[in-house]
């Protein structure tokens, strides 16, 4: 009998755990993409930005195509909302959703951790690299 059809609670918990694990890896992979981090930071600081202004905030280090793909993925994941204003030329605003704000806050904690532990990590790397050189 397929796993889905079993009325077994343990099997259901296994499926849920696998789904959660898979989503965790997807989200970490997506957020590890520096473009998403930059968009999170820009929208956290400015709240709402038009596409062109967002591209400027990212310092021009991202093509229009890549920014579009990044924003679409973030919208798909529920991290941002996209509002199209019916004017000519088209005016599109992007804003973090509460979900996106909470993800930004979580990564702010990672930033704080790095600031707090920078010296320890740097020292550990130096020690490790020194051993490898011998």
Q: Is 58 helix (H, G, I), strand (E, B) or coil?
A: coil
Q: Rounded mean pLDDT of 112-123?
A: 87
Q: What is the mean pLDDT of the chain?
A: 82
pTM: 0.69
Residue 133 has pLDDT above 80, yes or no: no
pLDDT at site 127: 92
Decide if 47 contacts 104 (C-beta within 8 A). no
For the segment 9-46, what is each residue's pLDDT rounded down to a tens digit? 455 555 568 777 777 777 777 666 778 888 998 999 99
Cβ-contact 93, 83 below 8 angstroms:
yes
Token pair recorded at residue 97: 């959703």
Dist. CA 102–CA 44, nearest whole Å: 10
Residue pair 44/101 in contact (Cβ under 8 Å)? The answer is yes
* Phi, psi angle pair for 93, to nearest 5°: -110, 150
Instruction: Give all domains of the chain, ordered by start, each with its CATH number.
Output: 33-133 (1.10.10.10)
Burial status of residue 27 (CB atoms within 10 A of its CB: 0-12, 13-18, 19 or more): middle
- Asked if 80 contacts 95 with a C-beta cutoff of 8 angstroms, the reply is yes
């Amino acid at each position: 009998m397929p796993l889905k059809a079993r009325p077994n609670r343990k099997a259901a918990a296994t499926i849920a755990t696998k789904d959660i694990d898979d989503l965790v890896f997807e989200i970490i992979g997506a957020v590890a993409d520096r473009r998403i981090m930059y968009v999170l930071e820009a929208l956290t600081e400015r709240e709402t930005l038009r596409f062109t202004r967002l591209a400027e905030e990212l310092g021009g280090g991202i093509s229009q195509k890549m920014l579009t793909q990044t924003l679409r993925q973030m919208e798909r994941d529920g991290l941002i909302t996209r509002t199209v204003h019916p004017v000519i030329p088209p005016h599109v605003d992007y804003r973090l959703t509460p979900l996106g704000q909470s993800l930004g806050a979580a990564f702010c904690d990672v930033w704080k951790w790095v600031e707090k532990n920078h010296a320890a990590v740097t020292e550990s790397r130096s020690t490790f690299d020194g051993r490898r050189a011998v």
